[in-house]
């Protein structure tokens, strides 16, 4: 009986860890900093692959936004607008993403402090 339970547990673990290969490929691209490539892989499959792909797509946009927003070598005019675009894209796939929402509010407040219109 214990042997069957262990086998069933191992089989379930294998099923749960078996991610969609396209999602896994895209996640590897995100880790390598190839955000546009990851997004290009995920966008066509997000409707059919379900929550896993949408979560990965939101994460890819979040990391892409961070690559601009947190880049200290970029001047404000070159980093805030593209970061804002990516953070807004996060919310298309994960409406409750607090990290993206917080960063959007921060960037919008920076634009207000600079006396500039907030990009749409």
Tens of pLDDT, residue by residue over 17-67, are: 447 999 999 999 999 999 999 999 999 998 888 899 999 999 999 999 999
Predicted TM-score (pTM) of this structure: 0.82
Q: Is 95 helix (H, G, I), strand (E, B) or coil?
A: coil
Using the predicted structure, report yes or no on whether residue 7 has a pLDDT greater than 80.
Answer: no
CA 87 to chain centre: 9
Report the distance separating Cα 58 and Cα 98, nearest Å: 12
Report the distance separating Cα 61 and Cα 39, nearest Å: 8
CATH 1.25.40 assigned to 22-113:
yes
As a whole number, mean pLDDT of residues 87-114 equals: 97
Report the distance separating Cα 73 and Cα 43, nearest Å: 30
Average pLDDT value for the chain: 88
């Amino acid at each position: 009986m214990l042997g069957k339970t262990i086998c069933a547990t191992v089989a379930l673990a294998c099923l749960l860890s078996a991610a969609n290969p396209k999602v896994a490929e895209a996640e590897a691209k995100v880790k390598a900093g190839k955000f546009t490539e990851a997004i290009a892989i995920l966008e066509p499959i997000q409707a059919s692959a379900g929550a896993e792909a949408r979560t990965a797509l939101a994460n890819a946009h979040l990391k892409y936004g961070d690559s601009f927003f947190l880049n200290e070598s970029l001047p404000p005019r070159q980093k805030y607008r593209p970061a804002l675009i990516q953070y807004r894209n996060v919310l298309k796939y994960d409406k409750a993403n607090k990290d993206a929402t917080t960063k959007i509010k921060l960037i919008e407040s920076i634009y207000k402090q600079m006396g500039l219109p907030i990009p749409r």
